[in-house]
Amino acid sequence: MNPLNSCDFTQAGDPLVLFQRWFEEARQNEPNDPEAMALASVDGEGMPDVRMVLCKDVDARGVAFYTNAQSAKGRQLLASPKAAALFHWKSLRRQIRLRGPVALTSEAEADAYFAGRARDSQLGAIASQQSRPLESRAALEGAVARLAATYGEGAVPRPAYWRGFRLTALAMEFWQDGAFRLHDRVLFSRDAPEAPWSRQRLYP
């Protein structure tokens, strides 16, 4: 039996362990951006907004990603710190949905991740006034060039507005493709981050 197509996940007791197992299998087998997840938030009017981000850390606390906190998603998450996320690994025919509260990661975590990024990505993060109007591509490239000249070969410091967010799931739904659209779906839910999980199988 191919372990990537087995249904043993429906009997899993700890969704966080199962998530980490699926995430690692995706990293090994999904050819395109296995860390990509759709992240949904709401604006001040309650209108939902969704975009793709990269999950950069997974542990018992939740899934973490990094962004410009002054961007549209950053402002939305700070104003209404709840979100939903979706991982869809098309090649593996699997997906995981998460919902729950969002909080900033520590400054130290943001520093460590930023320091590990490629230098050009660091410069781009500073140059980009994310989500705001841009007059031309040349203006963006010019800003990057000026920053490169400013920092030379020295370290590029993390800007204060470039932060990490962590989504702590209160609900996690695992979905696996099945023949004739008889998919397997299992929902894990809890009332609070410290509460025990309950498990329920769902109709496809």
Which amino acid type is present at position 165?
Answer: F
Query: 51, 166, 181, 190: which one is catalytic?
Result: 181
Q: From residue 96, how far is each of 11, 23, 37, 188 by CA, in Å?
A: 16, 10, 9, 11
Rounded CA gap, 30 and 184, in Å?
A: 20
Is there a catalytic annotation at residue 117? no
Phi/psi at 169 (nearest 5 deg)?
Answer: -75, 135
CB atoms within 10 A of CB 195: 10
Catalogue the active-site residues.
181
